[in-house]
């Protein structure tokens, strides 16, 4: 399981707080100063900075208007709805592990958003929508003193109008991803520093909420047949008749080599739009899906994560999922290699692993042999997880799961046989 001890603070009989780990100590040191202990239930400690005078002044930071724990995906829909319908002005901060996202509201409108999440920074959005390629992004990043968007305009890669449009897309993507956060904390602050917003938009929070909910529902459905953005649509020859005109561009881009993400960039549409179109082509029998080839540790772990999330999704209810986690923990401990491989990397509640940490761990463990050993260990772990999950499911569901997971991890199996 994920290391849950990294943020622990122990309060002793004298009321003195002791950080249990280095991470907790670093977080406490970053908050040096005088805080007031606010009224709270006995199982919660809520403190806010007040300074040496002991009073809550404007310079002590925004007032926390709402706060709470996020325990499942979609739970923030109610918060976004409340803030939007109330017409509040302020900043919704959502913290998910090391990821921080902020959405700025005013009079029921979303006027901006910021994120530290992978895939949501402006350069990554410009790449995802096909506006810039990797070489252009590299050129922009190395321009000293310029934001990536301004550098792209100076180089002639983008028009200012196109940049403005895509920055709006970035705001939308951040809001949609906030709604999908399943574990973390949220705070609504009654004000924000307007200097943080280089550009302001006027996006109806209700419309964003409705679209976000639709995407969550549909994406879960799409993932049954398109497990990841790295999967490759392959055209089916001799299919009579072309798809509808709305799908022609995506159909023509599906050359058997481009992944779903590549098709999105090629067609300059969002990942969700690309996935939606590919799903419709699948339904129409125009294409079939091929798993991506695992060429490096990142791709291998991503494929493993897709398979494990599918297994836990199939197992479903919390009681069976708990049994599966316990079985996998015993298997990992008995196998020997996994304790070192999974160090500080998980598995998380959905069975997935932290990609960057696994890549670091396997490099230290295996060196030049990293790809071969990682492929072998993760394939064997998924195979056992599939076997264990089958014992928890009705026969027909187990057969369907086996077929699905076998298709997902086929490239790992083939890669093992080659080595």
The mean per-residue pLDDT over the stretch 107-136 comes to 93
Listed by start position, the domains of the chain span 63-209, 223-290, 297-418
Question: Max alpha carbon distance in the chain (Å)?
Answer: 79
* pLDDT for residue 170: 96
The mean per-residue pLDDT over the stretch 35-57 comes to 93
* pLDDT for residue 353: 92
Percent of the chain with pLDDT over 70: 97
DSSP secondary structure letters along 211-270: HHHHHHHHHHHHTTT---TT-EEEEPTT-SS---TTTHHHHHH--SSS-HHHHHHHHT--
pLDDT, tens digit, 9 for 90 and up, residues 211-249: 999 999 998 889 888 988 888 999 998 766 778 889 999
**97: pLDDT confidence band, cut at 50, 70 and 90?**
confident
* pLDDT for residue 415: 60
Tell me: pLDDT of 317 over 90. Answer: no
What the block records as the tokens of 415 is: 């890669």
pLDDT, tens digit, 9 for 90 and up, residues 21-32: 888 899 899 999
Tell me: pLDDT of 3 over 60. Answer: no
Q: Which residues pair with 185 in a beta bridge?
A: 69, 95
Average pLDDT, the chain: 90
* pLDDT for residue 2: 42
pLDDT, tens digit, 9 for 90 and up, residues 333-351: 988 789 999 998 889 888 9
The mean per-residue pLDDT over the stretch 355-360 comes to 91
**Full 3-state SS string of 162-206:** HHHHHHHHHHHHHHHHHHCCCCEEEEEECCCCHHHCCCCCCEEHH
* pLDDT for residue 417: 52
Task: Measure the CA–CA gap between 312 and 405, rounded to whole angstroms.
Answer: 11
Reduce the DSSP state of residue 105 to 3 states and report it: strand
Tell me: pLDDT of 418 over 60. Answer: no
In 3-state terms, the chain is what percent helix, strand and coil (to 5)? Answer: 50, 15, 35
pTM exceeding the 0.85 threshold for the entire prediction: no
* pLDDT for residue 156: 95
Q: Say how many C-beta atoms besides its own lie within 10 A of residue 217's C-beta.
A: 11
Task: Measure the CA–CA gap between 160 and 152, rounded to whole angstroms.
Answer: 9
Tell me: pLDDT of 298 over 60. Answer: yes
Q: Say how many C-beta atoms besides its own lie within 10 A of residue 95's C-beta.
A: 16
Tell me: pLDDT of 183 over 80. Answer: yes
- 47 phi and psi angles, rounded to 5 deg: -125, 150
* pLDDT for residue 4: 56
Burial string for 154-187 (b: 16+ CB within 10 Å, else e) reads eeebbeeebbeebbbbbbbbbbbbbbebebbebb
Tell me: pLDDT of 169 over 90. Answer: yes
The mean per-residue pLDDT over the stretch 139-160 comes to 92
* pLDDT for residue 409: 85
Which burial class, exposed, middle or buried, applies to 42 when counting CB atoms under 10 A from its CB (0-12, 13-18, 19+)? exposed
* pLDDT for residue 282: 93
* pLDDT for residue 414: 64
**1: pLDDT confidence band, cut at 50, 70 and 90?**
very low
């Amino acid at each position: 399981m994920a290391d849950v001890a990294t943020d622990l603070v122990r309060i002793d009989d004298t009321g003195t707080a002791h950080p249990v780990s280095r991470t907790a100590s670093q977080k406490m040191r970053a908050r040096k100063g005088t805080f007031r202990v606010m009224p709270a239930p006995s199982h919660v400690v809520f403190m806010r900075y007040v300074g040496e005078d002991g009073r809550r002044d404007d310079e002590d930071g925004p007032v926390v208007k709402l706060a709470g724990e996020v325990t499942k995906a979609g739970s923030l829909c109610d918060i976004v709805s409340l803030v939007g319908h109330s017409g509040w002005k302020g900043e919704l901060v959502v913290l998910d592990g090391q990821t921080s996202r902020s959405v700025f509201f005013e009079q029921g409108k979303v006027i901006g958003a910021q994120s530290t999440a992978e895939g949501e920074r402006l350069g990554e959005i410009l790449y995802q929508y096909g506006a810039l390629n990797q070489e252009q992004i590299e050129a922009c990043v190395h321009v000293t003193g310029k934001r990536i968007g301004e550098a792209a305009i100076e180089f002639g890669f983008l028009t200012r109008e196109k940049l403005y449009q895509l920055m709006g897309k970035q705001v939308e993507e951040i809001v949609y991803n906030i709604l999908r956060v399943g574990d973390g904390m949220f705070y609504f602050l009654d004000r924000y520093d307007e200097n943080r917003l280089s550009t302001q938009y006027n996006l109806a929070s209700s419309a964003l909420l409705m679209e976000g909910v639709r995407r969550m529902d549909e994406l879960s459905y799409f993932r049954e047949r398109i497990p990841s953005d790295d999967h490759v649509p392959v055209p089916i020859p001799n299919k009579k008749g072309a798809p509808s005109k709305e799908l022609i561009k995506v159909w023509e881009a599906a050359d058997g080599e481009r992944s779903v993400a590549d098709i999105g960039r090629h067609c300059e549409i969002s990942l969700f739009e690309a996935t939606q179109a590919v799903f419709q082509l699948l339904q129409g029998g125009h294409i079939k899906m091929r798993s991506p080839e695992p060429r490096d540790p990142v791709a291998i772990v991503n494929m493993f994560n897709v398979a494990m999330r599918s297994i836990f999704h199939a197992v479903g209810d919390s009681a069976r999922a708990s049994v599966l986690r316990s079985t996998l923990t015993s298997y990992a401990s008995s196998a020997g290699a996994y304790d070192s491989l999974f160090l500080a990397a998980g598995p998380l509640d959905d069975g997935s692993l932290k990609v960057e940490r696994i890549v670091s761990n396997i490099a230290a463990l295996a060196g030049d042999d990293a790809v071969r050993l990682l492929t072998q260990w993760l394939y064997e772990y998924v195979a056992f997880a599939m076997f264990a999950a089958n014992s928890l499911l009705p026969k027909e569901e187990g057969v369907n799961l086996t077929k699905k997971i076998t298709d997902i991890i086929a490239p790992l199996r083939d890669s093992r046989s080659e080595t």
